[in-house]
Structure 1
């Protein structure tokens, strides 16, 4: 009896499903050694859409129906339609996919990729395809395609090795490396004459010609796949430009008609795009994800992502895919596994220090696991992870997954981190350009968005009633107008925004706490009662904490305990003083800045604020008022 082949051994461990016994089966099994570690290789091989493009396959279209994914495409001129069964994968180790065809020369295909690390930090890559042809044509095509496909994959994997050696980034989900931007001398599907007035307008707004040229070049030369949904934070590395400058030019490009802005609703589980909205006010308070079988609040943290797209009047951009490429589109998911009733799976915690989240499809509850090298190696059970507080363990710990339900169940383990490349509403709300250009954008009444930690500053005029009385209404009005203009100018200089005015008081918001502090110091040093133009004395309070964005009088306003505290702190603050809460000074950057400038604190003060209880704060004085 002959020795079993590698394919025989593979099929013994990975048999065909019973429903396909007796059918004509065509199996491919390829083995490659690649001089890259599995971790280095995974982002490349998991991006199957890019691999299919490199293979020379036609573009594909996908449509979601009731949580199921259906695709259309061509192979060698033959039209194909299929249902895409949910992918399964374990990051840096393996991935599986299955397609059930309803049209074309193929009835069924299953694919399996396995990465195994070798002693020299290389990878043995095993690639398997199992086909069931629909007819004789399909049988002939699949039989003759074997050797050509094996050779083509070999070329692609060698290209991966060369990209690693030349330090060229491959995976578009990691655009941190600066890349050259090509010349835009040629245009495809674009009306170049329309760019000329846009370029002049952007130059008039003060943008550098090199930045404008880079943006135009990107729009003209990039593929539709990259332009369909432009993520600004990815472009900072490509353009080699500061985040603030990039956002500014993108916002003004919307005003000029080059780009459109979109508010995308993202599923908190799979991070798939569930809805796209042209305006904030069209977003409702609830959304659903049929793929994950959940409904969720659109006001939750990190649910809305802001993206840009090219105005169709400038360039027509189509949504392009060469594969659904699920593992590449969901890099936060490190394990997705479907288990039949009674089946088990063992997962080994990788060598990382991260917080992990454990969940099953259709359930909102989840378990949390903190992986720390200083913790103990543990044997963990899935049901225990979902019924206890956060558990700690070290890399190398084992998770035993059992499906005790009477139906199949999908298990998911993911890294519990925000998408670092996502632009959130809170990022935009603190840009003065956004509030100027999109002044009509607001939330629907009754809708709120969690915008996370904000740095809120209140400035108010001290003794304004007496000033009005002594100066008269006309003079007082002129002075107050100048006061608001100066506050706005200084705020913008320190990368903040005016959220609203309340009488003489102004509420400001800053993304960076040190910017808020520097702005406060500048404001209080100017408005000390001695300025000839604006002889007003002011007081300032600053707080740091979570906020909600809401609709107030058709404007984007901030609401919550953080705002309540900073506004009520005004009555404990005297002229020329800056009161800063403990939550604000607890920020390391604030503490460091104050010490570097030798600002001395007055004694710690405690105040009882209605609705918030006892608040601890400190005061600093920048410049004494004249006697």
Structure 2
């Protein structure tokens, strides 16, 4: 026997405000005090279990499908329980004075004589969901009459958060709840008050589903080979996209160590604005202008998509486009049509919007934060494999004429001046959010998040540097970096490091040199008014490379 139950309700808040609560089905289930569910993925199939009254229900389920901010749906096939199958859909529509939420369940009953009771129970659950959403929307309805929201204290969060939330804590997501920065969350968690309560963990996440595939307290314990059975891909544990840092409440029972964290909930993937299973379908979606990544289950390759209203309207056909354009950037209109012809039933399509933060704190981001990195014990971050740090800008400094300085004034006095120079360089670089990678003799190496910050710091260094006896030359270069953590700290290596070091030979005292590719309208404003010249630089080696460098003279 089949039943279709659909109910709707209007709310006096926008769909954008209510969507995060509607899409976070795991939190919703806990708030409604529904029977807990446990999940396990076996050979790529997600199995669920739930005890209702005195009966165990078992099912397999397909991945959620959704369009971010509009709807989400899911289907379960039961091997044990009151139902044979259950399809659910949650949709939200914008109205002039709020929004409307529509919740639908399509049920095939295993026992027809229980259908009426179960249908009434389903309606009761939907009403509870509406009551839950009403409580959440009440905050937005009365926002104009409320006092400014005060930040939530960490202690209050610990006492109110569910144990599943405390079993794996994403610093960025918790920071959003506490209305602070992820750095503050991490620093507070490792303070003398809380350091014994919070454990630092390293997660390997699937780049597709964002589920946690492995967790370890130390990098040396991370498996070298990891696969995601749901997405059917191998995962590179050294990739900055896949290696993240999380926290755990160590007061929780050991039984919670095995909690399934496959990110099936939409709320765990805010950057995925469209996810759909492969069938014969044609789907139209309106996208914001910007850059997107299109991913497909079973394929490590992805397609970059540049979306703009100025581009020609056309259909993206998976049957032909995936093979031809997987290595290219495709230009598509904001009104985009996907044609699912050529996809298999088991295929799953993900469309990620690169302008949305995933909420994951990558290990690379933590390592490059000065305050946070010094709180990471070397025993935890030591590894025997390189870690992708991503695209960073390196700054090398060197004291010109240091050999003569040691000869002229003696080792002790010269070392004191070099040490004072290091302290001065450190203060300026840290002011611009840089990380000290290492010092070698009288040279230093710092890593910056952006070229703008690095150039800004370099100019400030030269302007504020005491010129007597300690004249600096500075080189910059930007590119992908690799890092390896040892007991002595963090070290960088790779082509970007080598090139930046070679650029030093093109600079003299009081000068800064960097590749002309770092020049743009924003960075150009930093050195307007300074003496500058373009020079050619040839990098010697087996494969010679030519660079066009900008040399700044700061006196």
TM-score class, shorter: 0.7 to 0.9
2:347 corresponds to which residue?
A: 410
Deviation at 1:226, TM superposition (A): 3.2
Task: Please provide the CA RMSD for this pair.
Answer: 3.6
Shift of 1:603: 1.5
Out of 131, 135, 142, which is 1:155 matched to?
A: 131
Pick from 542, 545, 550: which aligns with 1:613?
Answer: 545
* SS at 1:110 equivalent: strand
Instruction: Please give the residue correspondences for 1:455-466 in structure 2 after superposition, counting only pairs within 5 Å.
Output: 455-466=393-404
Question: Kindly tell me: are residues 403 and 494 of structure 1, through their superposed partners in 2, closer, same or farther at Cα, counting changes over 3 Å?
Answer: closer
Give yes or no for the alignment of 1:142 onto 2:118. yes
Q: Equivalents in 2 of 1:225, 1:557: separation in Å? A: 36
Q: Which has the larger radius of gyration?
A: 1
* Mapped partners of 2:233, 2:130: distance in 1: 41
- Asked if residue 371 in structure 1 is aligned to residue 301 in structure 2, the reply is no
1:603 is aligned to 2:533? yes
Listed as ranges, the matches of 1:104-119 within 5 Å are 105-113=81-89, 115=91, 117=93
Secondary structure in 2 aligned to 1:604? strand
**Correspondence 1:221 to 2:160:** yes
**CA offset at residue 42 of structure 1?**
4.2
Give the distance between the partners of 1:382 and 1:130, measured in 2 at CA. Answer: 32
Give 1:292 deviation, angstroms: 0.2
Residue by residue over 1:592-619, the C-alpha shift from the partner in whole angstroms, topping out at 9 and shown as x without a partner, is 3334xxx413221221123572222223
Deviations for 1:177-222, whole angstroms, at most 9, x for unmatched residues?
x95345xxxxxxxxxxxxxxxxxxxxxxxxxxxxxxx233332333
Correspondence for 2:433: 495
Distance of 1:354 and 1:448 partners within structure 2: 32
Q: How does 1:126-275 map to 2 (within 5 A)?
A: 126-133=103-110, 141-159=117-135, 161-166=137-142, 180-181=150-151, 214-242=153-181, 244-252=183-191, 256-275=195-214
Q: Select the residue among 274, 278, 281 that pairs with 1:345.
A: 281
Match of 1:537 among 450, 455, 471: 471
1:335/1:463 CA distance change after superposition, 3 Å: closer
Quick check: 356-365 or 283-292, which moved more? 356-365
**1:266-285 matched pairs, under 5 angstroms:** 266-285=205-224
Query: Structure 1 residues 159, 257: closer, same or farther in 2, change over 3 A?
Result: closer
Q: Is the 8 A contact 1:354 1:415 kept in 2?
A: no
1:383 aligns with 2:315: no
Is the 8 Å Cα contact of residues 240 and 388 (structure 2) preserved in structure 1?
Answer: yes
Distance 1:146 1:308 in 2: 37
1:56 aligned to which of 3, 26, 33: 33
C-alpha offsets along residues 216-247 of structure 1, whole Å, 9 cap, x if unaligned?
33323333243222222234444444555444
Q: Give the 3-state SS of the residue equivalent to 2:64 in structure 1.
A: strand
Q: Report deviation, 1:84.
A: 2.8
Alpha-carbon distance between aligned partners in 1 of 2:271 and 2:181, rounded to the nearest angstrom: 26
- Runs of 4+ in structure 1 off by over 6 angstroms are 313-324
Given candidates 563, 569, 585, the residue that maps to 2:503 is 569
SS class of match (1:437): coil
User: Contact 2:240–2:362 (CA<8 Å) still a contact in 1?
Assistant: no
2:326 corresponds to 1:396: no
Deviates more, 1:431-440 or 1:59-68: 431-440
| Structure 2 counterpart of 1:580 | 514
- 1:350: Cα distance to partner? 1.5
| Aligned pair partner of 2:48 in 47, 51, 71 | 71
- Contact kept? 1:49, 1:321, Cα under 8 Å: no
Give the direction of change, closer, same or farther, for the CA distance of 1:231–1:462 in structure 2 (3 Å limit): same
Query: Hey, what does 1:590 align to over in structure 2?
Result: 523
- The answer to whether the Cα contact below 8 Å between 2:18 and 2:133 also exists between their aligned partners in 1 is no
CA contact (8 A) 2:3 2:119 kept: no
TM-score by length of 2: 0.85
Pair 1:70–1:314, CA change in 2 (3 A): closer
8 Å CA contact retained: 1:252, 1:437: no
Match of 1:99 among 49, 52, 76: 76
User: Is the Cα contact below 8 Å between 1:352 and 1:395 reproduced in 2?
Assistant: yes
1:505 pairs, out of 437, 443, 451, with 443
**Structure 2 CA distance for partners of 1:591 and 1:322, relative to 1, 3 Å:** closer
How far has the Cα of 1:461 moved from its partner?
Answer: 1.6
**Measured at CA, do residues 461 and 344 of structure 1 come closer, stay the same or move farther in structure 2, by a change above 3 Å?**
same
Secondary structure, counterpart of 1:422 in structure 2: coil
Q: 1:516 to 1:153 in 2, by over 3 A?
A: closer
Looking at structure 2, the residues matched to 100 and 314 of structure 1 have their Cα atoms a distance apart, in angstroms, of 32
Going from structure 1 to structure 2, the CA distance change for 1:272 and 1:560 (only over 3 Å counts) comes to same
Give the whole-Å Cα distance in 2 for the aligned partners of 1:351 and 1:37: 19
Shift of residue 309, structure 1, vs aligned partner: 2.1
Q: Is it true that 1:332 corresponds to 2:302 in the alignment?
A: no
- Residues 487 and 225 (structure 1 numbering): CA distance in 2 closer, same or farther, change over 3 Å? same
Partner of 1:432: 370
Structure 2, gaps ≥5 residues long: none
Are 1:469 and 2:395 matched, yes or no?
no
Deviations 1:98-137 (A, max 9, x none): 333444x42423123163758858546251230423696x
State the secondary structure of the residue aligned to 2:531. coil
Match of 1:450 among 379, 388, 402: 388
